[in-house]
């Protein structure tokens, strides 16, 4: 099946294997610690016992040894007394082992039980001591019980580990199959999107899990793309229409001039008029290219600290003569020194566009004010005027390319200014807010986090 070949399944198998190895190593570690502990305990015990027995006179020693062995129901105790020649006097140890190191600390020794000579020598922890009368006392203890514990626990572990391993593999197979199913479904839907069905969306649950979050983000991106593509289709028509008007005008002028002009002056006048029409078409193309350039964010390399106050003063200085010609009071009001991280040229262009609009649409003897102020965690660039303002239902429309309100049809312009401002503001991560009238009030809000107010 496919999931056996899937990465998820392979990883699950590897993890299950690693888990089994880990459990085995852990078990081994525990076994050796227990073994060490039991041996140390036995050593302590037999050392204490031999000390006790050694202190007894020979006649009491034999009885004490017999008592001691009589109480050993598990048959793990070894003890015996031998005379100087090695003949057994008492105890259950058949003979002294070869190479007996008398007086040494407890160690492994091969001892033979008197009642079980057929079984041969058993390796036990034992200690030997020579008594005052020359006899040799041997006391030992069989610590094979740890091996027994190991056998029992090992068997239980093997029985438990196998189902766990199988369960793990099953879980891996299930997860892999589930992931495969989801990926397959996503693949199918993405293929539909590639085929041109932009309304298709990826499946996702309302759960806080990575796959659903990713699907939600991709769906959001598709929503945005769908809107953009739909808008683009409209923009294409708008561009064609807006270019057609000045080009038609130029063509008509040239056509009529060619037929009617009789003098060089007349012909030059006609050509001048036609050039104006072509220039207008070119300015539309230039503005569109500039919009594309800004929207492609190609200029983020030019980002740096921009002193907003200086920039506003510069725009004011630039537009003052124009405002004066129109008897408009242009003023600038700067609360404090603020700066943001951005592209100075672009921000200047955005503000210049706003001021340009404000002066253009404010009637004579009106007022235009540029202000720089602080909001909560944000710096605000505000352009207010005493013109007609932008009505609430036009707030979104004015940001569309080529939108020209009916009220301003006769004012020069191509309807791309606010679009350009919006693109610049978006590039910087700022917000453009158009307030409802009376009067015009447009704000560029620069949050401290975005671009960073300093």
Partner 1 sequence: MTKVLLIEDDGETAGEITAELADRGFEVEWSPDGLDGLARARELRPDAMIVDRLLPGMDGLTVIESLRKDQVRTPVLVLSALGAVDDRVRGLRMGGDDYLTKPFAIVELVARIEALLRRPPETRETVLRVGQLELDLIERTVKRGERKIDLLPREFRLLEYMMRRSDQLLTRAMLLEEVWNYKFVPATNLVDVHMGRVRHKVDGPGDAPMIQNVRGAGFILRAVP
Q: At what angle do helices 58-70 and 7-54 cross, to 10 degrees?
A: 150
Whichever of 111 and 350 has its CB closer to partner 1, that residue is 350
Residue 322 found at the interface with partner 1 (CB under 8 A): yes
Choose which of 33, 181, 213, 298 interacts with partner 1 (CB under 8 A): 298
Output DSSP code: residue 88.
Answer: E
Closest to 362 (Cα-Cα) out of 348, 381, 383: 383
Cα–Cα distance between 410 and 397 in angstroms, integer? Answer: 18
Residue 267 found at the interface with partner 1 (CB under 8 A): no
Choose which of 243, 318, 334, 408 interacts with partner 1 (CB under 8 A): 318
Residue 325 found at the interface with partner 1 (CB under 8 A): yes
Choose which of 114, 413, 445, 448 interacts with partner 1 (CB under 8 A): 413
Cα–Cα distance between 186 and 61 in angstroms, integer? Answer: 87
Choose which of 2, 48, 286, 297 interacts with partner 1 (CB under 8 A): 286
C-alpha of 246 from chain center: 52
Residues in the interface with partner 1 (CB under 8 A) total 29
Own/partner long-range contacts of 72-76 (Cβ < 8 Å, ≥24 apart):
75/142, 76/141, 76/142, 76/143, 76/144, 76/145
Residue 93 φ/ψ, nearest 5 degrees:
-90, 120
| Shortest Cβ 353–partner 1 spacing (Å) | 7
DSSP per position, 24-57: HHHHHHHHHHHHHHHHHHHHHHHHHHHHHHHTS-
Residue 247 found at the interface with partner 1 (CB under 8 A): no
Cα–Cα distance between 261 and 271 in angstroms, integer? Answer: 11
Residue 293 found at the interface with partner 1 (CB under 8 A): yes
Whichever of 101 and 345 has its CB closer to partner 1, that residue is 345
Residue pair 398/353 in contact by the 8 Å Cβ criterion? no
Let me know how long the chain is.
454
| Shortest Cβ 332–partner 1 spacing (Å) | 15
Cα–Cα distance between 396 and 387 in angstroms, integer? Answer: 19
Choose which of 349, 369, 378, 443 interacts with partner 1 (CB under 8 A): 349
Pick the piece of the chain touching partner 1 (CB under 8 A) from 132-140, 163-171, 247-255, 410-418.
410-418
Choose which of 58, 201, 251, 299 interacts with partner 1 (CB under 8 A): 299
Whichever of 299 and 426 has its CB closer to partner 1, that residue is 299
Pick the piece of the chain touching partner 1 (CB under 8 A) from 177-185, 356-364, 387-395, 444-452.
356-364
Residues near partner 1 (CB under 8 A): 272, 275, 282-283, 286, 289-290, 293, 298-299, 301-302, 317-319, 321-322, 325, 345, 348-349, 352-353, 356, 359-360, 412-413, 417
């Amino acid at each position: 099946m496919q999931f056996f070949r899937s990465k998820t399944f392979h990883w699950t198998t590897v993890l299950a294997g690693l888990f089994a190895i880990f459990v085995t190593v852990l078990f081994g570690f525990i076994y050796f610690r227990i073994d060490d502990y039991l041996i140390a305990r036995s050593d302590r015990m037999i050392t204490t016992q031999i000390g006790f027995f050694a202190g007894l006179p020979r006649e009491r020693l034999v009885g004490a040894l017999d008592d001691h062995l009589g109480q050993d129901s598990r048959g793990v105790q070894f003890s015996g007394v031998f005379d100087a020649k090695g003949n057994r006097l008492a105890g259950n140890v058949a003979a002294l082992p070869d190479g007996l190191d008398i007086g040494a600390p407890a160690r492994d020794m091969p001892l033979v039980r008197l009642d079980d000579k057929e079984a041969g020598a058993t390796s036990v922890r034992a200690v030997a001591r020579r008594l005052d009368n020359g006899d040799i006392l041997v006391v030992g203890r069989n610590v094979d019980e740890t091996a027994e514990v190991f056998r029992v626990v090992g068997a239980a572990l093997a029985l438990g580990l196998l189902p766990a391993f199988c369960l793990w593999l099953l879980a891996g197979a299930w997860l892999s199959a589930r992931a495969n199913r989801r990926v397959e479904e996503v693949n199918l839907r993405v293929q539909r999107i590639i085929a041109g069905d932009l309304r298709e969306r990826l499946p996702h649950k309302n759960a806080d899990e990575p796959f659903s979050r990713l699907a939600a983000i991709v769906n959001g991106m598709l929503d945005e793309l769908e809107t953009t593509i739909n808008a683009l289709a409209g923009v294409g028509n708008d561009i064609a229409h807006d270019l057609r008007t000045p080009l038609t005008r130029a063509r008509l002028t040239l056509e009529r001039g060619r037929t009617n002009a009789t003098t060089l002056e007349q012909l030059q006048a006609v050509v001048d008029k036609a050039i104006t029409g072509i220039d207008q078409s070119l300015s539309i193309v230039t503005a569109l290219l500039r919009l594309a350039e800004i929207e492609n964010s190609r200029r983020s390399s030019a980002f740096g600290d921009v002193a907003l106050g200086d920039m506003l003063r510069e725009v004011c200085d630039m537009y003052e003569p124009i405002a004066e010609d129109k008897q408009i009071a242009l003023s600038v009001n700067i609360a404090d020194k603020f700066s943001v991280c951005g592209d100075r040229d672009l921000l200047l262009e955005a503000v210049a566009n706003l001021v340009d609009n404000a002066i253009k649409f404010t009637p004579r003897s009106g007022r235009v004010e540029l202000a720089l102020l602080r909001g909560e965690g944000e710096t605000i660039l505000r352009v207010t005027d005493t013109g007609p303002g932008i009505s609430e239902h036009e707030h979104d429309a004015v940001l569309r390319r080529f939108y020209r309100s009916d009220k301003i049809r006769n004012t020069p312009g191509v309807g791309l200014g606010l679009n350009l401002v919006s693109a610049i503001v978006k590039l910087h991560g700022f917000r453009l807010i158009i307030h409802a009238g009376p009067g015009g009030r447009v704000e560029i809000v620069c949050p401290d986090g975005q671009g960073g107010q300093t």
